[in-house]
Amino acid sequence: MKTKGKVLFASLSGWACALGVCIMAAGCGGRESIDYSGPTADWPHYGADAGGTSYSQLTQLTAANVDSLQLAWEYRHGDVSDGNGEWARSSFQVTPLVAEGTLYFCTPFNRVIALDAETGVEKWVFDPELRFRRGQGPYPLTCRGVAWWQDGQEGRDGGTRLCSRRIFTGTRDSELIALDADTGRPCPGFGDTGRVYLREGLSEHEQWEYYPTSAPVAVADLVIVGALVADNERVDAPSGVVRAFDARDGSLRWAWDPVPPAWQRAAGDSGGRWQSGSPNVWAPLSVDEENGLVYVPTGNPSPDLYGGQRRGLDYYGSSVVALDLDSGEPAWHFQTVHHDVWDYDVPAQPTLFDIAGVGGGRPGLVQATKMGHLFLLDRLTGEPLYPVEELAVATDGVPGELLSATQPFPTHPAPLQARRLDASDAFGFSPWDRADCRERIASLRNDGVFTPPQLTPTLQWPGSAGGANWGGVSIDPVRGRLYVNQLRTPMVIQLIEREKFDKLDRGSVVYPDELYPMQGTPYGAKRGPLLSSAGAPCNPPPWGTMTAVDLVSGEVLWESVLGTTRDIAPWPMWLPLGAPNLGGSVVTAGGLVFIGATTDKFFRAFDVENGREVWTRRIPYTANSSPVTYRLGAESRQFVVIAAGGHGWSEPGDALLAFALPAAGPGD
């Protein structure tokens, strides 16, 4: 169902709180005075800056006053679907942008909306009128962000300011759209009346399998975009090509198809079609404009769980790749998993940093992975800043598979998740529940991390959702610290011979249990979480964590439980055991880490010094997104904004929530 968005102003007065209508506001105590002497800042990029640090220099909010944080405004966009009607299921996962006083975001239906960042009042709405509305497989409708760009050559369009500032957005039906940031109107000089068709070269049955979910990158005079490619459908899935377009006219400037160097065609020459099955790039990109590099996190070649027919196509698979900003040619790449058959693709934005005590002060990049690994690299060369060990792993895959004998493990910091989950580690709420998990773990093939998928069920630990996922990390460059949220939930994988798989009733399997056809290979695949008979993960809690790492020493400073069992378990089983989580964090100079992400309906703040949860607010839907924070002027409050709109496991919603300290009233 689609409805017109609206803004709901939160009452902050004492009488309203006494009547119980301040549902999401803080307690009704006296107001804290606001310190207006600190810095101001926008949030003009997906990760705050082009390097994706998700760090804010703002200091108005601190551990001392955060408990007074209240709901300042709420905007409901109305683009919600439970998947039972015309639209596929929706998931509101966006990270907004804030530039020049305006907040920009996209909805799951790919509408783009501009709000007054101070008040939440709507300025404009653009509807792309999607061609594809139905989903397939486990993928909900989602849009995680847009890009903001300012032209250094104002007035190119007819001598007016039209489109001198632009919003770029990618859509579910594979279009890249340029909008005037002031009005929301399509930019007439960009592509076909504001649109570039990313689906060109795709067959009709491929078009639902290929589309952007992460925000484009707009830098210099380029807009760069990758795309999701549906997992495990078939060998000849759409290419994972990354393309750069002229930010003014939409013409193709370069294209990088992630194939081995010997396969590369001339830049921009696809020969009429990109290489099918090449690794896709669905996660956010980052940019070092000064050094002319764009950093690309790659997924697996298709399909994910069997690689016997890749013919070397995973050369760039599960890697972070540095591309020349002008040409798209690879400058270097670092592979986080060799010949990945676990769906351990690189899920998060490569995050850039410059910290004097880290790696001898060299320009740095950290790549978070689903295995709980953090690889610290020289971002100019790709060389590890600290030793990476190649350790032996099992290699006895299914017939036709040829696995790598070693896999890379970082040493600084050391892996944040254990390498192995054994039957002796089994968890349960009761002795019977624990015995059930112990028996289930003992029945699985289990060589620890990188256990090869087999024709009998195998234990995947960590599971393919993470470790870290697309929420990535946040980095405080002043304190020299990194913050990362992780899942800790095991999975079970089984490959099934083609003849047997084709006889299965795929329609009877419901997410999170999954069946994948992997057409063109000898196998189909079955995958799902490892749960007890009570429905809880079989590994010991916490099942969700927030971790602080000292990048100088490589040591973990603290690890806190992230989330509770509320909203996925009945009362009184609301326990602080951590929760599965998807979404990211923001860290501030004021000493706070803000995060939603969990399966419970809460928004939280942690003290950066000790990991103590210092602020928690109940919100209308789960916030499987990443927050932003900004302060517009010298007399303004610092806002923290998060999208709350559910995920595949929770109720879909449409709430954009802005929190701030209470505004001064008359006479204050």
- Look at 1 and 563; give whichever has higher pLDDT: 563
> What tokens does 236 get?
């000849």
pLDDT of residue 54: 98
Question: How far, in Å, are 181, 308, 455, 505, 521 from residue 500 at the CA level?
Answer: 54, 19, 11, 11, 13
pLDDT of residue 131: 84
Say if residue 30's pLDDT is above 70: no
> What tokens does 24 get?
């999401």
Average pLDDT of the segment spanning 546-564:
98
pLDDT bracket for residue 512 (50, 70, 90): confident
pLDDT of residue 32: 58
Catalytic residue among 182, 257, 343, 345: 343
pLDDT of residue 154: 60
Question: How far, in Å, are 46, 48, 404, 647 from residue 71 at the CA level?
Answer: 23, 22, 52, 23
Say if residue 69's pLDDT is above 50: yes
Average pLDDT of the segment spanning 626-631:
98
Average pLDDT of the segment spanning 422-441:
95
Average pLDDT of the segment spanning 22-33:
42
Nearest to 645 by CA among 604, 596, 585, 606: 596
pLDDT bracket for residue 546 (50, 70, 90): very high
Say if residue 249's pLDDT is above 60: yes
pLDDT bracket for residue 109 (50, 70, 90): very high
Say if residue 9's pLDDT is above 50: no
Average pLDDT of the segment spanning 616-641:
97
pLDDT of residue 60: 98
pLDDT of residue 264: 63
Q: Which residues on adjacent β-strands are paired with residue 321?
A: 296, 333
Q: Which residues on adjacent β-strands are paired with residue 278?
A: none
pLDDT bracket for residue 27 (50, 70, 90): very low
Average pLDDT of the segment spanning 569-584:
93
pLDDT bracket for residue 664 (50, 70, 90): confident
pLDDT bracket for residue 483 (50, 70, 90): very high
Question: Known catalytic residue: 192?
Answer: no
Average pLDDT of the segment spanning 657-662:
97
**% the chain with pLDDT above 90:** 82
Query: What is the C-alpha separation between 180 and 230, in angstroms, rounded?
Result: 31
- Look at 158 and 482; give whichever has higher pLDDT: 482
Say if residue 159's pLDDT is above 80: no
pLDDT of residue 139: 83
Give just the sign of the alpha carbon dihedral 312, 315, 317, 318. Answer: positive
Counting Cβ atoms within 10 Å, is residue 668 exposed (0-12), middle (13-18) or buried (19+)? exposed
pTM for the whole structure? 0.93
Domain 6-276+419-660 CATH assignment equals 3.30.1280.10: no
Nearest to 344 by CA among 313, 377, 318: 318
